[in-house]
Amino acid sequence: MIFWREVDPMKDMTSKAWQRSGSSIIWSPELLGPLVLAGEAVPLRVALGWTKHGFPESPPGGRSTVLVGGLQTVLESFPPQANDAAFTWLRLNIKPLIRAFQSHWGNVGLVFAMDGPDKLFTFNEADEIVYFGRAKDRSEQLKLTLGTWNGAATGEGAFRLLVPETKELGGYHVKHLS
């Protein structure tokens, strides 16, 4: 007898709910624009410091979304043949940041601003993983959502963020990382 787990495919989201909870990886200028205009992005090194030295009492600027810049720069600093090291870095740094952030500010969205372009992000339906990188061969790309969100980026609670009034993909969102 063969058993398998049926998983709902990633759903599309066009609302702004991703700005108020969970965590997102966004590269679309249309989605990032209002966040950038609302206030400065928090440098990644500052956000990572919160996990070691404690979070501020309230989010920067008292906003309902914390925009973090610098993740793509870090990921691109790893050479293509070092995807295992980049994956490990995500698991040891970004995943714990997301967990601590959600525990501290449950009703605030965490957004990692990426430079793009969109062709650097590829969703593979077979394994439900978003891959990141310039390499054409998927085996040479970073398993971005697996390293960042573990298995939470599949099924219920995982969303493709669409640019309003278009079908253009602008990012990915996970409601909660347990």
Domain count, the chain: 1
Overall average pLDDT of the 156-172 stretch: 89
pLDDT given at position 96: 95
pLDDT range class, residue 7, cuts 50, 70, 90: very low
Residues 149-165 have a mean pLDDT of: 80
Can you give the chain as a three-state secondary structure string?
A: CCCCCCCCCCEEECCCHHHCCCEEEECCHHHHHHHHHHCCCEEHHHHHHHHHHCCCCCCHHHCCEEEEECHHHHHHHCCHHHHHHHHHHHHHHHHHHHHHHHHHCCCCEEEEECCCCHHHEEEECCCCEEEECCCCCHHHCEEHHHHHHHHHHCCCCEEEEECCCCCCEEEEEECCCC
58-89 pLDDT, tens digit each: 999 999 999 999 999 999 999 888 999 999 99
Task: Say if 84 falls within a structural domain.
Answer: yes
Does residue 57 lie in a domain region?
A: no
pLDDT at 11: 86
- Residue 47's domain comprises 11-52+63-174
- Looking at the domain assignment, is residue 70 inside a domain? yes
Its pTM stands at 0.90
122 domain-assigned: yes
Place of tokens 């295992």: 84
pLDDT for 152 beyond 70: no
Q: What percent of the chain has pLDDT over 70?
A: 91
Give the residue from 13, 20, 75 showing the smallest Cα distance to 44. 75
Whole-angstrom CA distances from 9 to 5, 77, 155, 161 are 12, 31, 6, 14
Does residue 4 lie in a domain region? no
In angstroms, the Cα distances linking 142 to 73, 93, 105 are: 14, 15, 28
For residue 89, the model assigns a pLDDT of: 97
34-38, 44-48, 122-126, 161-165, range with the lowest pLDDT = 122-126
> Which pLDDT tens digit goes with each residue over 84-118?
999 999 999 999 999 999 999 989 999 999 998 98
**Measured between alpha carbons, how far is 69 from 43 in angstroms, rounded to an integer?**
5
Residue 58 domain flag: no
